[in-house]
């Protein structure tokens, strides 16, 4: 079975690589659509590789916002590009997000996601709530929605190192209480709101923000909000964090915080969960499946409603890699691949059946 993953997002995001490796054990040959060709990039890219199935992951790559005169053209071109591609081979979609990050109000984006989801032969989601939202928001038929875990992203990183050793490497105080925000530093994650609250509430614990910046403007906003506050440590970079760096950070901290405004799936929260780090996440993010209830997952209503109490509770809860074992088993990549493979086979069987019916009618 030949499957094309599109687009190729393996740099800095191991999801596709880990899934492809697990699928290879089921005899699936996965290739990656790395080249972006002008005109109809999805159609032209898939034609050259002739896959049996095109598996879309982040379709917004094909109607990207680049801040140039062609932004609106890319958005309005996409449905035709998608339709022409779907005529050649079946398309399946993994809905990592309900809508692309930071683009929910942008003209044409909602339509494009709806076109993709309703036109796909199958749609993978990462929780039952995500399944419900895809049905309600875009009218995707229930029979075409399939729930799979997000996958254990700690599998290639190994267990945590000793906390004291990790803190020494990072220049962190051995006796401090350290709360971590990690991953791409982007507006939809609400990091600016968290920093503002941290300063105003005079929280005595160390808040460390680590990761590549979304934009220079947003980075300046965070620095301005944190100015003069010794409890906030901004470690903003221009490059993605490697696995070895992430392992050190996840070994060094006492808890992690995810103040996302909206999210379907959080790879960072799933990784913290795999490492057995207590994490705080808003109650409103109902689509984020973290296998709850669990002592490592604390849900808060809002920063000014119960957050400080839950923060103290998280800091009083020891990190435990062993306590996250069931989560790592649940998100095992071979399990994810087995479900994915079964859906691929179902899609191809249905496609052959449709072709056979058409031929008979002729």
Residues 231-242 have pLDDT tens digits of: 999 999 988 889
Taking Cα atoms as reference points, which of 357, 349, 341, 248 lies closest to residue 25?
341
Distance CA 140, CA 104 (A): 19
- What are residue 240's phi and psi, to 5 degrees? -65, 150
Report which of residues 359 and 25 the model is more confident about. 25
Q: Shortest CA distance to 351 belongs to which of 209, 298, 359?
A: 359
Assess whether pLDDT exceeds 90 at residue 324: yes
- Residue 234 pairs in a beta bridge with 209
Q: For the segment 283-320, what is each residue's pLDDT rounded down to a tens digit?
A: 999 999 999 999 999 999 999 999 999 999 999 999 99
The predicted structure's pLDDT at residue 95: 97
For the segment 71-99, the average pLDDT, to the nearest whole number, is: 95
Q: What is the pLDDT of residue 356?
A: 46
Question: What whole-number distance in Å separates Cα of residue 40 and Cα of residue 243?
Answer: 35
- Structural contact between residues 262 and 308, judged by C-beta atoms closer than 8 angstroms: no
Q: Domain 163-327: give its CATH code.
A: 3.40.50.2000
Tell me if domain 2-149+332-361 and domain 163-327 are identical in fold. Answer: yes
Residue 358 scores a pLDDT above 50: no
Angle of helix 267-274 versus helix 243-252 axis, rounded to 10 = 60
The residue written with tokens 């906390």 in the block is 163
pLDDT for 140: 97
State the first-to-last Cα distance of the chain, in angstroms, to the nearest integer: 28
Reported for 144-149, long-range contacts at CB under 8 A and 24+ positions apart, including other chains, are 144/120, 146/122, 146/339, 146/343, 148/124, 148/336, 148/339, 148/340, 149/289, 149/330, 149/331, 149/332, 149/335, 149/336
Per-residue pLDDT, 50: 85
pLDDT at 325: 97
| Nearest CA-CA partner of 90 in 360, 319, 347, 276 | 347
The class level of CATH for 2-149+332-361 reads: alpha beta
C-alpha 256/C-alpha 267 separation (Å) is 13
The token duo for 196 is 């503002």
Residues contacting 230, CB < 8 A, separation 6+:
none
Look up the pTM and report it: 0.93
Longest Cα pair distance anywhere in the chain, in angstroms? Answer: 77
Is residue 187's pLDDT more than 80?
A: yes
Residues 177-199, mean pLDDT to the nearest whole number: 97
Percentage with pLDDT > 90 across the chain: 87
Give me the mean pLDDT over the 203-207 stretch.
97
Q: Is the per-residue pLDDT at 359 higher than 70?
A: no
What tokens does 339 get? Answer: 């479900």
Instruction: Judge whether residue 353 has pLDDT over 80.
Output: no
Mean pLDDT score, 115-144: 97
Whole-angstrom distance, CA of residue 355 vs CA of residue 146: 24
Annotated domain spans of the chain: 2-149+332-361, 163-327
pLDDT at 160 over 50: yes
Instruction: Say whether pLDDT at 360 is over 70.
Output: no
């Amino acid at each position: 079975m030949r499957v094309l993953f599109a687009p190729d997002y393996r740099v800095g995001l191991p999801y596709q690589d880990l899934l492809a490796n697990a699928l290879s054990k089921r005899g699936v040959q996965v290739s990656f659509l790395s080249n972006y060709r002008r005109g109809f990039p999805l159609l032209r890219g898939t034609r050259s590789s002739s896959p049996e199935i095109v598996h879309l992951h982040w379709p917004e790559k094909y109607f990207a916002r680049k801040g140039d005169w062609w932004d609106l053209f890319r958005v309005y071109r996409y449905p035709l590009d998608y339709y022409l591609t779907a005529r050649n081979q079946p398309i399946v979609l993994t809905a990592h997000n309900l809508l692309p990050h930071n683009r929910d109000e942008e003209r044409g984006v909602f339509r494009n996601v709806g076109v993709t989801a309703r036109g796909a032969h199958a749609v993978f989601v990462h929780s039952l709530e995500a399944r419900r939202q895809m049905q309600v928001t875009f009218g995707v038929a229930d029979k075409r929605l399939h729930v799979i875990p997000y996958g254990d992203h700690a599998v290639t990183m190994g267990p945590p190192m000793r906390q004291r050793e990790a803190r020494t490497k990072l220049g962190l105080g051995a006796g401090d209480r350290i709360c971590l925000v990690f991953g791409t530093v982007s507006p939809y994650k609400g990091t600016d709101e968290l920093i503002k609250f941290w300063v105003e509430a005079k929280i005595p614990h160390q808040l460390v923000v680590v990761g590549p910046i979304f934009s220079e403007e947003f980075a300046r906003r965070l620095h301005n909000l944190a100015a003069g506050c010794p409890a906030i440590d901004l470690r903003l970079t221009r490059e993605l964090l490697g696995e070895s760096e992430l392992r050190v950070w996840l070994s060094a901290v006492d808890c992690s915080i995810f103040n996302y405004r909206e999210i379907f799936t959080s790879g960072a929260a799933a990784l913290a969960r795999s490492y057995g780090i207590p994490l705080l996440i808003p109650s409103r993010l109902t689509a984020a499946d973290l296998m709850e209830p669990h002592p490592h997952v604390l849900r808060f209503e809002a920063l000014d409603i119960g957050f400080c109490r839950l923060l103290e509770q998280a800091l009083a809860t020891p990190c435990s890699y062993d306590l996250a074992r069931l989560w790592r088993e649940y998100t095992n990549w071979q399990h994810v691949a087995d479900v994915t493979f079964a859906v691929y086979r179902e899609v191809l069987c249905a496609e052959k059946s449709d072709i056979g019916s058409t031929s008979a009618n002729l």
